[in-house]
Structure 1
């Protein structure tokens, strides 16, 4: 991942306040279409809207660099582009889980006396010699989940959590975050009870089992980052819903669409049936 706020020997557009533009940094539009055997990735709007930097790309002195990587398959490839729009078709098996996309502008040849407009006052009057391959501009990184059946905005709990029968006869449930899915192991006694009601009061079960497990998952994600199927998916859900890891209890409830309120309604509905 190309980090913002790093220290470079010359001003880089998009890196903190190295270059202070009047308008907000222009961001390209990344669109991913996932099929059974292929993934089509397109990026539209590859322009910084900084006249000097865009002119360097147009002249061939610089180019857009698109890095695509998938940690779980070790796929990593870089593509150079001088056009405003770019697209590429990838083989489906190349990607599993999270795919990262890093977009930047790099020099293709040595650029002498580089002094872009709107530089921070700390650079006032300075000129720089940029070597081939050095960064000129960066934009925030993107990511997506390479799973055609996964929708971050409609993801079911089963895409993150698997509840199964454990080895203990009785006792509290156990939770493991070390597998591709979060494994919740119920005691044999609790499992038999769970099996009898999971289809009748699913929201109540979200509150009593999935909610605390999801809180723990958010804490784990904040401390350890991604690397498993569930953590990649959970990070995508948090990002797409524009939530935060700072308050895991609140975020977990947002993801589960206020499960306590829905559990109250569900329990009252069941009690109403019995009173008839």
Structure 2
């Protein structure tokens, strides 16, 4: 969930208001990944004495709210300790994940007060109920790009469709969609593809014919002087390719020069479908001759 400036019925410790004039609440979040889980290690820093007392008395606790729009996951994790950790299964997160730290009331507090209230609240107390916000830190986001999306599932970031302008262009690539690279085929080519795609033996051949030139086209764009990283950085398919490139020692955010030709790198990204495709063709040809 995105933290936005808003008014609460009681003073809240935050960076966007002076309800509580002294003290701060900051969260340091370290995220590690494995094939099975995302592990979140949380370190909270709180310097407001009264707020610390509420937590020590278990009337308030630290909370991390996790939200992933792709998987529709919304989950909260709470602790009375400033340092805690938790895990989320990898298949529960995908794409952009929003992480928001809070301090919430752990129970109803009838006379909520803080010695560092702004002067406007001098002498006042407030009634807060369990779950009410007492402090907010700035929200953070990260991209959950799964390992399984890396090499083995590179084809999952492509989709093949029929071009709208019929048979004018036999093959084209659309990089403007946020989730997948769209390979557009003419009507006749799409019909060939649709039938061939049903045969597992032709999968590597199709990769060579369609995916490889699409990747080469993308890498040539990245190499060009007018390439703008910011244009693609939020696209899901781009994150998958960027991750694979980083594993090859290529950081396109810092530098758009490629150490090898676009053709050579494209084959490394996709796993050399040409060799497998040629082998399959050869074996099928030999079987036919026999």
TM over 0.5: yes
Q: Deviation digits for residues 68-115 of structure 1, max 9, x if unmatched? A: 222212222222210121111222212222222222111122223322
User: Shift of residue 12 of structure 1?
Assistant: 0.5
Q: Which residue of 1 aligns with 2:36?
A: 37
8 Å contact kept, 1:182–1:230: yes
Count residues in correspondence: 221
- SS of residue in 2 equivalent to 1:53: helix
Q: How does 1:34-113 map to 2 (within 5 A)?
A: 34-44=33-43, 46-113=44-111
- Structure 2 unpaired stretches of 5+: 149-153, 190-208, 244-251, 262-290
8 Å contact kept, 2:98–2:140: yes
8 Å contact kept, 2:12–2:20: no
Runs of 4+ aligned structure 1 residues displaced above 3 Å come to: 18-23, 161-171, 173-179, 182-188, 201-206, 212-215, 255-259
How far, CA to CA, are the matches of 2:237 and 2:140 in structure 1?
A: 18
Task: Please give the root-mean-square deviation of Cα atoms over the aligned residues, in Å.
Answer: 4.5
How far, CA to CA, are the matches of 2:76 and 2:96 in structure 1?
A: 17
| C-alpha distance 212-97 of structure 1, shift in aligned 2 (>3 A) | closer
8 Å contact kept, 2:96–2:142: yes
1:211 aligns with 2:227: yes
- Structure 1 unpaired stretches of 5+: 151-157, 222-227, 238-254, 267-276
TM-score (normalizing by structure 1): 0.61
Q: How does 1:1-276 map to 2 (within 5 A)?
A: 1-14=1-14, 16-22=16-22, 25-44=24-43, 46-149=44-147, 167=163, 169=168, 175=174, 177-183=176-182, 198=216, 206-207=223-224, 211=227, 215=231, 229-230=236-237, 233=239, 256-257=253-254
**Larger radius of gyration between Structure 1 and Structure 2:** 2
8 Å contact kept, 1:175–1:213: no
- SS of residue in 1 equivalent to 2:26: coil
8 Å contact kept, 2:14–2:25: no
| C-alpha distance 207-166 of structure 1, shift in aligned 2 (>3 A) | farther
How far, CA to CA, are the matches of 2:9 and 2:161 in structure 1?
A: 57
How far, CA to CA, are the matches of 1:59 and 1:205 in structure 2?
A: 56
User: Shift of residue 131 of structure 1?
Assistant: 1.8
